[in-house]
Amino acid sequence: MALTIGVPRETAPGEARVALASDAARRLVRKGCEVRVEQGAGERAFISDADFEAAGCHIVDRAEALASGAVCTVSGLDASGLDGLASGAVVLGLLRPLDDTTAVEALAARGATAVAMEMVPRTSRAQRMDALSAMSTVSGYRAALLAAFRLPQFFPLLTTAAGTVRPARVLVIGAGVAGLQALATARRLGAITAGYDVRAAAREQVESVGASFVELDMETADQEDAGGYAKALAEDEAARQVEALAKVLPDYHVVITTALIPGRAAPVLITARGVAGMRPGSVIVDLAAANGGNVEATRADEEIVASGVTVLGPTNLAAEMPTHASEMYGRTVAAFLLEFLDDEGTLNLDPEDEIVAGAVVARDGEIVHPRVLAALAPA
């Protein structure tokens, strides 16, 4: 029996993406799946119902999309969506289980299997399913454009009849996927770029996109975990890092911060004192705003001016480029489903498989992921 795959319209405020674009849906249809797309699900990403129909999908109402064997979402389901789930459904999405366990607990209570796409392990086999990296690419790109738009000067060097305009200097803190994309984009816009990260491997990555690596006047051990993410610094190391960063911030017109630690509040790297030391008119884009922010002054989804510096705290930049973001995200979702779909149309999520073990956070009415269980444990 063919697997039924539902694609409901996203209901989160400001969310313009759709969980499967037509190209990814076509791959699933060719595999024998029945893909049910809620009417209008892709319109905010400029993907029409006709595009989905041309890919072999069925355009249905919300109830039918939710009553599918696998339900593909971007940011999970609201209460009404949960009520419409079929028994034993598999729900895939960016569920943020380490930041807010409420959504995962609700899915477990419904008996659903919850697949958190951001928890897919960073392995070569799972690379095609790496939704977090895909969306971080979009966010880093948009962050550089946002900074260029808000900065009251040019990014590139210009030689004009009115004289020479010096290029902007851009610092990116955190050299993960978002940070590297921000660096690459800022450099393409003509800025002089530099990057900083606590991970030893980051130097080569920063330099690979044409940026210089910032050396802070402090000593720390390599702060990279087994998954390639930055680890939290000890309290005294973190304090020294803040002081060291404050000394270099005045050299830059733009600072983009991307530092996140999975399952924890974002580390504060720039205090009010650090902002006050920057040049008036400078711009900070804090990509960690959804997790509290790397900048003391950050307010989620707000623009504030502190000491003459514009501080922006966008929480969902990927939704601002919904067409390509939907295509990229949808390909990771389709890759996950196709990896575990057998010839009979059954989705076999073997808990012994390393990808399944990393991404499935709830099944059979229980939370099963050890890191989520740890987040639920009393302090």
Catalytic residue among 133, 136, 205, 282: 133
DSSP 179-200: HHHHHHHHHHTT-EEEEE-SST
Query: Catalytic annotation on 133?
Result: yes
CB atoms within 10 A of CB 225: 12
Residue 41 sits at φ, ψ, to 5 deg, of -60, -30
**CB contact at 8 A, 191 and 155:** yes
Is 229 an active-site residue? yes
- 317, 139 contact by CB (below 8 A): yes
Q: Which one of the listed residues 23, 229, 353, 371 is annotated catalytic? A: 229
Q: Considering 100, 127, 222, 350, which one is annotated as catalytic?
A: 127
| Beta-strand relationship, 158-160 and 163-165 | antiparallel
Clarify whether 130 is annotated catalytic.
yes
Give the whole-angstrom CA distance, residue 102 versus residue 98.
10
Q: Helix, strand, coil: what percent of the chain each, to 5?
A: 35, 20, 45
**Which of 130, 142, 169, 205 is an active site residue?**
130
39 close to 10: Cβ distance less than 8 angstroms: no
CA atoms within 13 A of residue 271's CA, in its CB half-sphere? 11
From the list 48, 49, 122, 150, the catalytic residue is 122
Determine contact, residues 70/89, Cβ cutoff 8 Å: yes
Catalytic residue numbers? 122, 127, 130, 133, 229
